[in-house]
Structure 1
Amino acid sequence: MSRAEALSPARLKDAAPLFAALGDATRLGLLVSLCSGGPVTVTHLSGQFAVSRQAITKHLEVLSEAGLVKSTREGRERIWAFEPKRLDDAHAYLERLSKQWDVALGRLKAFVET
């Protein structure tokens, strides 16, 4: 893997909020609920978690800023839904990082064996 294929500082800057959003147990649980249950309201989600509706809303806003969920208005309520593209991005970042480690370990193995 060439240096050009490595994650650039700009791509890392894009990835950081994504992984920060995924790094909280409540947010990860919300994402799992939205993946398996489809679009729902905060009221529906708050029944599944031991935190307040306000906390659920704040967590959803963090997920939204990271591009993992989106909301639409229906009357007075917001309906929250999972956005799969950003999870695809996370997978791509991790795959690229894995390849970088494979290359580094290959170089180390070659060095040790010579």
Structure 2
Amino acid sequence: IGAPPMNLLALTGSSSGPILADGTAIDFAVRETPAVTLGFRPEDADVTFDAEALPGALVLPATVEAVEPVGAESFLHCAAAGSRIIVRVSGRAAAKPGDQLRVVAKAEKLHWFDQAGKRVD
């Protein structure tokens, strides 16, 4: 089966900093960078049903579209930020299709890519 690919989200610029394609603001400090794509691995994100935002993290409201149990973990296939993303959770997922949740990825686990697809630091 193999691991799912990295989640990639398109960025656009604004006067207040980068925003995701659907208008979701990146509400934590980012370096001046030519990044046009933001990425995170399915195993580097968590899910929460709480409304509380974590400082220094990307928090995406998401809708679960499918749940894929694979042994000791599950993959949640979600719609978020105008894209489809996958999040790995341990055990059998409590979430089910149609559930609303928040996907949280800490800033240090994010990857930034330029227009050529090369990682920028």
Structure with higher Rg: it is 1
Q: Between Structure 1 and Structure 2, which shows a larger proportion of strand residues?
A: 2
Q: Between Structure 1 and Structure 2, which shows a larger proportion of helix residues?
A: 1
Q: TM-score, with normalisation over the residues of structure 2? A: 0.28
Q: TM-score, with normalisation over the residues of structure 1? A: 0.29
